[in-house]
Amino acid sequence: MHADKGQIINFQFSILIVPRMQIRKFDIEDRLVQFTCRMIDVVEALPNSRVGNYIAGQLIRSSHSPTFNYSEAQAAESPKDFVHNMSVVLKELKECRTALKIIGKKELIKPVSKLDEIYMETEELIAIIAKSISTTKKTITFKPRKK
């Protein structure tokens, strides 16, 4: 990995660091819905080949799962249920990240730079969901005892 001022290079993905003030704030569910819609575009851009079709099938499932499981987490019956559902969201987002890395490494979509924004969004969503899980686990672990 090579880093220049204001830019991070991750495999073949060139990800620009955008100042926080420029990023629009979204409700997480809205961001996940938008993420799923953008991933559909990635799936549609994959070549009609054995590899393209295989990755497309995996990616269509893993890119829809975070959105649906996040909605389920919002209706969790307990903090542990919430953590479980959010862990599924995190797992599927990481699967999407891996698929994007493969797509970029194999240059299944050209130019590879077309994947930069969706890759960055995937990383941001992973960080947000991981923090949410971590915060919830702390509240479960450090719950004050009732006397």
CA–CA distance, 84 with 137 (Å, rounded to integer): 10
**Owning domain of residue 118:** 27-141
**Does some domain include residue 95?**
yes
| Alpha carbons 135 and 10: distance in angstroms, whole number | 28
- What confidence category does residue 3 fall into, taking pLDDT thresholds of 50, 70 and 90? very low
**CA–CA separation, 136 vs 23, rounded Å?**
25
Q: Is residue 4 part of a domain?
A: no
Indicate which CATH number applies to the domain containing 100. Answer: 1.20.1440.60
Strand partners, 4: 7
**Domain-located, residue 91:** yes
Does residue 15 fall inside a structural domain? no
Q: Domain for residue 6, yes or no?
A: no
d(C-alpha 144, C-alpha 100), whole Å: 43
Lowest mean pLDDT, pick from 14-28, 90-104, 116-130: 14-28
Structure confidence at residue 146 as a pLDDT band (50, 70, 90) = low
Give residue 17's pLDDT: 39
Residue 14 lies in a domain: no
Question: Is residue 2 helix, strand or coil?
Answer: strand
Separation between Cα atoms, residue 34 and residue 26, nearest integer Å: 10
| Tokens matching residue 29 | 């569910």
- Tell me, yes or no, whether 77 lies in a domain: yes
Query: How many independent structural domains does the chain possess?
Result: 1
d(CA 147, CA 137): 22
pTM of the complete model: 0.78
